Homo-oligomer: A and B are copies of this chain.
Amino acid sequence: MFRALVVEDQTLMRLALMNEVQASFEKCVVLGAETLTIATAELQNNHFDLVVIDPGLPGFDPTSQGDRVAVVDKIIEASPSAIHIVVTGSDNRCEADGFRQIGAAAYLGKTGLAPGVFSDVLDDISTKGFSLRLSRVVMTKPDYRFSVLTPREQEAIDMMAHRAPGVKRKEIFSLMADRLAIDANSAEKYYKQARAKLMRQGHPLPHGL
């Protein structure tokens, strides 16, 4: 059974990261720790295959580079056989190098760390040994979330709204089919159904229909 630990003080972020880990491993147990105290206690008593760390924890100075390194170093030394992924909001290449040197397998900026990226990071680690994803702004349009839509329908609207100009809808359906491992016709159906729902309720559709 694959075992992972997420060390992050911000609750919603911790839960989101735990979701990402779960999505990357079919069968697994994921523990979430709010503080270094809880984390070290768990690391002493149990074995972990993967540890995700945000160095900005309560009780430490988030602006002190020494404190940040100390947190990560303590965790790495407490779980030498695990894969260690550092996730931070205030990321920079210099710090990334530092963490890499003390044994981290990945360094991720929170901005741009979207659902699904985690799996790519794990691929990077297993192929190249290290993954670096610095924060970068990627959005040009807002994301829309409609409570009337099912997840599949929401996803269909999402992908279609972010369609690059000139790209045919058919191509998006193929892409969606590929990403969700379903038939392109089904993807098309979801999009049409979602669109119909929004029209019926008089919603101002996101640009790009």
Contacts and interface: CB of A to CB of B under 8 A. Distances in A.
B113 A35 contact: no
Number of copies: 2
A111 B148 contact: no
A33 interface: yes
B142 A33 contact: yes
Contact size range, A: 35 or more
Contacts of A42: 142
Contact of A113 (B11, B89, B114, B143): B11
A111 B38 contact: no
A30 to B, nearest CB: 4
Interface string A57-80: 010001100000000000000000
Contact of A32 (B16, B17, B89, B145): B145
B204 A46 contact: yes
Given A115-B12, A137-B9, A201-B1, A25 B110 contact: no
Contacts of A146: 29
A182 interface: no
B12 A58 contact: no
Nearest to A203: B29
A114 B11 contact: yes
A101 interface: no
Interface string A20-49: 101001111111111100110010001000
A22 B111 contact: no
Interface of A: 1, 5, 9-18, 20, 22, 25-35, 38-39, 42, 46, 56, 58, 62-63, 89-90, 110-115, 135, 137-148, 201, 203-204
8 smallest A-B Cβ distances: which pairs? A12-B16, A34-B139, A32-B143, A10-B110, A30-B145, A11-B114, A31-B142, A9-B111
5 contacts: A1-B201, A16-B16, A28-B147, A29-B147, A32-B142
